[in-house]
Chains A and B, each alone.
Chain A
Amino acid sequence: GIQVEQSPPDLILQEGANSTLRCNFSDSVNNLQWFHQNPWGQLINLFYIPSGTKQNGRLSATTVATERYSLLYISSSQTTDSGVYFCAVGTSGSRLTFGEGTQLTVNP
């Protein structure tokens, strides 16, 4: 099956700092999503981004499908950005395979 690697596994930032999270995957995909898992365990969909670049406020994401990686950028981080960020990939109609996640802690 598809392998998904996320880096770094843990990240600690001061409020206001910027960060880049990376997701590498082992095979061609046509579905890639970034999720934020909040402290209550909910999976919040951030981006559906099988290719290209998208922005939503302080967050943006870029997927280079031909090179099998995706990046999630968080600018001017806030304490509410803390949690686990998951990358998940899949092919048409099939299961999503999740990475191990990046645990982000933003300190005031």
Chain B
Amino acid sequence: EPEVTQTPSHQVTQMGQEVILRCVPISNHLYFYWYRQILGQKVEFLVSFYNNEISEKSEIFDDQFSVERPDGSNFTLKIRSTKLEDSAMYFCASKTSNYGYTFGSGTRLTVV
């Protein structure tokens, strides 16, 4: 069964550092997403990406965040200057137009 692949699985970073979280969506999917889950809380939407541009973003997705699809396979989330409150599990997801989402296994980001 096709999978969404995320790397790394864990990342520890110093406050103020830039991090890039990487995802390889399913190859024939057209819609790409990032979600996050702070420990013990529910999963929250960050951003959706379609046709090489952001189609929707939440209030969480401020100027510190950016997304990119640098080539035909990767989809990245960059956090420019990490804060303690950015510590969370970050999930990438992809979908086709007429079926549900497939989520990756997540990247656990810890900001110290």
Contacts and interface: CB of A to CB of B under 8 A. Distances in A.
A98 interface: yes
B32 to A, nearest CB: 12
Given A95-B48, A100-B42, 20 more contacts: A31-B100, A41-B105, A41-B108, A42-B105, A43-B43, A45-B100, A45-B101, A45-B102, A45-B103, A48-B99, A86-B42, A86-B43, A88-B43, A88-B101, A92-B97, A93-B97, A95-B45, A96-B33, A98-B43, A98-B44
Contacts of B58: 95
B31 A95 contact: no
Contacts, number: 52
Interface of A: 31, 33, 35, 40-43, 45, 48, 86, 88, 92-101
> Looking at chain B's contact residues, is the secondary structure mostly helix, strand, loop, or mixed?
strand
B103 A97 contact: no
B42 A101 contact: yes
